[in-house]
Amino acid sequence: MSFTNAPAGSDCREHSLQDTSRIRIPVSEIAGGDPTSYDQDIRRIARRYQLDPPLIKAIIHTESDFNSRAISRRGAQGLMQLMPETARDLQVVHPFNPQENIDGGTRYLRSLLDSFKGDLILSLAAYNAGPGLVSRTGGVPKIQETREYVYKVLTRYKVYKSQQSPLLVKE
């Protein structure tokens, strides 16, 4: 039995759970994926676009908690939470494919950094709220979610950068 908010076929029907007290879901299925499982792809793709691998890892952690099947309430998909239109613009055909999603999201961040003259804070705000809004406001928009997003990514970036992990070791 599968539960979804996006029916996959005409035979799908609405179902409500009466007593959820007996349902036990392993934390691993809620919390996301293994933080180290994408390190090789992150390292390879980040270097391709001349970005720091721990930065990409921090974005993935913040966006999807390493869940390659994540879908936001607004429809963003995959590890780096690409909106469908952005994924199309980036020619990401399979947004739930980890390598394709990381490549598209990293390429998108690279373009934002280029647009905002290397300003990481503005680029992260644009990744979350959209580059048009950041350009119109001339800075980080006064949106609580965006401000928290920038803070979380920067905090996690600092942690990943300071860790001695295989992510930082050259291939």
Pairwise pLDDT comparison (159 vs 167), residue with the higher score: 159
Task: For residue 71, name the pLDDT band (cuts at 50, 70, 90).
Answer: very high
Tell me if residue 66 falls in helix, strand or coil.
coil
82 bridge partner residues? 77
Q: Are 64 and 98 in contact (CB under 8 A)?
A: no
Look up residue 155 and give its DSSP letter: H
Total-model pTM? 0.78
Q: Mean pLDDT in the chain?
A: 86
End-to-end CA distance of the chain: 42
Task: For residue 100, name the pLDDT band (cuts at 50, 70, 90).
Answer: very high
Domains of the chain in sequence order: 34-161 (1.10.530.10)
Q: What is the pLDDT of residues 130-153, one digit of tens each?
A: 999 999 999 999 999 999 999 999
Chain centroid to CA 18: 33
In the numeric block, which tokens belong to residue 45? 């793709």
Look up residue 167 and give its DSSP letter: G
Active site residues: 63
In the numeric block, which tokens belong to residue 58? 């921090």
What integer pLDDT is reported at residue 19 of this predicted model?
A: 44
Task: For residue 159, name the pLDDT band (cuts at 50, 70, 90).
Answer: very high
Q: What is the pLDDT of residues 1-40, one digit of tens each?
A: 445 545 556 665 655 444 434 433 333 344 468 889 999 9
